[in-house]
Every structure is written in structure tokens, then in C-alpha cells.
Amino acid sequence: MESTGLATTQFWDDQNNKYDFKIADSTDPVIEFFEKELPWQQLKSSFEVGCFPGGYLAYFGTKGLEVNGVDLSDRIETELVPFYQLKQLKVGTFQHGDFFKMQSVNGFDVVCSFGFIEHFENWQAVVEKHIDLLSANGYLVITTPNFRGSFQNFFHRNFDLENYQRHYIPSMDPQLWKAFLEQKGMEVIKAGYFGKFDFWLEKTPSFIKHLIVAVLVRLKPLMAKFIPRGSESYSPYCGIIARKK
């Protein structure tokens, strides 16, 4: 059985069919989180866990790193890799299948995942397998949505419950990640919440809730001006960057 965590294989198939391919922009908050923390000139290879649809991994490719990855979507072989080749990125090895059962590979300068570990209750085992893929002195980059902060938790529980239930909320805690990685001998470079105030829904809620969300959407630009970035309660993302010693 494939290790899809709290989300089913059918869910991921349905999600993957929605995506087009693009290279993430440098103004994307996830890119901004790690851009200034990595020694780009020293990095040669990257590996993304759950690499579809591959926009962030493509960004690593634009910085000259070889791109590699694993994902359950069969579109990685038929569409994603050809997209990378079209963009003249250095393409390494891509595996279609279960991260926990994939062919053994290691020695990557960057191992990353974006919105992956929070779908597993045994998130520590997931992170440890990330670490196993790193080269000596390699960098680990992990980000997830923030459904744990007080506002984000309230919002997703009340307006986005089906999506909320596919996530293991206690895992969305960068301080827990920090403690775990330090226990594993990693040097933590940066950990916390990031991004200006934002929220999103997977599906349109019922009529009354839709009206409430519409009001919040109208207020979002104003709130984003006054709510500090990096708020545990309000920021849409959390992440960590660490180096293997």
C-alpha cells in the first residue's frame, strides 16, 4: 500500500490533474523563506519529496542545481520531466512511486519538501528519511501550510474542514521540528512562521459561510498591512532550514 498519510491516493490524483507547470517566482513567499539562507554557489544537486507539480524544484534548477525527485503522480514521467527539459534544466533521476518504498538514493546537496510532512502522523519518520537523502553538509528545506496558529486553525476548522482533516495539525510546529533536527545532529539555520497574512479554501463553503469568507477576503489586504509577517496565529506558512553536520 502506498504511504499517502491522511490524504488518499485518489485525492492526490484529483489534485494533480488540476495543475499546470510553471517555475515558481522569486517573490513567492516560500522562495523568499529560503532564498537568502542557502549558499547557492556551493550547491550542485537538489531532491524534492513529493515533487509534483514541481514549481519550487524548478526554481532550484534555474539556480544551476540538478533536479531530482519522487512522487506518486505518473505525470512526473510523462509531463514534468519533459517540462524541465524544455526549460533546459539539469535533470537527474525521478521516481514514480511511494517515497517510503523508493529505490535508495542519497548524497543531495538540498533535500526539500513543500506541504508534504503534515499529511503524516509519524512526521518524525518522514523527516528522518529526508535527512537520509542528504550529502555531508547538505541542506534540508521543509515548509508546510500553517493550520495550527489560532486564527488559521479556527478558519480552516470552520470553513475548510475537509481539507483540515487531511492534515496532522500537531505536526505544523517548526519548534518541534527544530528540537527533533537538533536531536539528530542537524544545525538549524532558520525556523518559524512566514508570509504576510493570507488564507485559502479548497472548496467553496455553504452560502452563509461563503458570505463570511467574502467579507474576510475584502478585509485581507487591510489586515495584511497591519498584521506582522511571521505571526504564529496569522501567517499562512511555517518552515525550517537546517544543515547536516
DSSP-assigned letters across all residues of 114-167: ES-GGG-TTHHHHHHHHHHTEEEEEEEEEEEE---SHHHHHHHHHH-HHHHTTS
Query: CA triplet 91, 95, 97: central angle to 5 degrees?
Result: 155
Closest CA to 65 of 109, 33, 113, 131: 109
Residue 178 lies in a domain: yes
The total number of structural domains in the chain stands at: 1
Residue 105 lies in a domain: yes
Residue 225 lies in a domain: yes
Res. 226: pLDDT tops 70: yes
**CATH at 173:** 3.40.50.150
Query: Domain range spanning residue 104?
Result: 9-244
- What is the percent of the chain where pLDDT is above 90? 74
Cα 125 to Cα 9, 121, 133, 243, distances in angstroms: 20, 9, 13, 18
Task: Give the pLDDT score at 194.
Answer: 97
- What is the percent of the chain where pLDDT is above 70? 92
Alpha helices per DSSP H over the chain: 9-16, 29-35, 55-62, 75, 81-86, 123-132, 150-159, 161-164, 174-183, 207-226
Global model pTM greater than 0.95:
no
User: Does residue 121 come out as left (phi exceeding 0), alpha (psi in the -120 to 50 range) or beta?
Assistant: alpha
Higher pLDDT, 199 or 17: 199
Residue 77 lies in a domain: yes
Residue 234 lies in a domain: yes
Mean pLDDT of 21-31: 95
Residue 4 lies in a domain: no
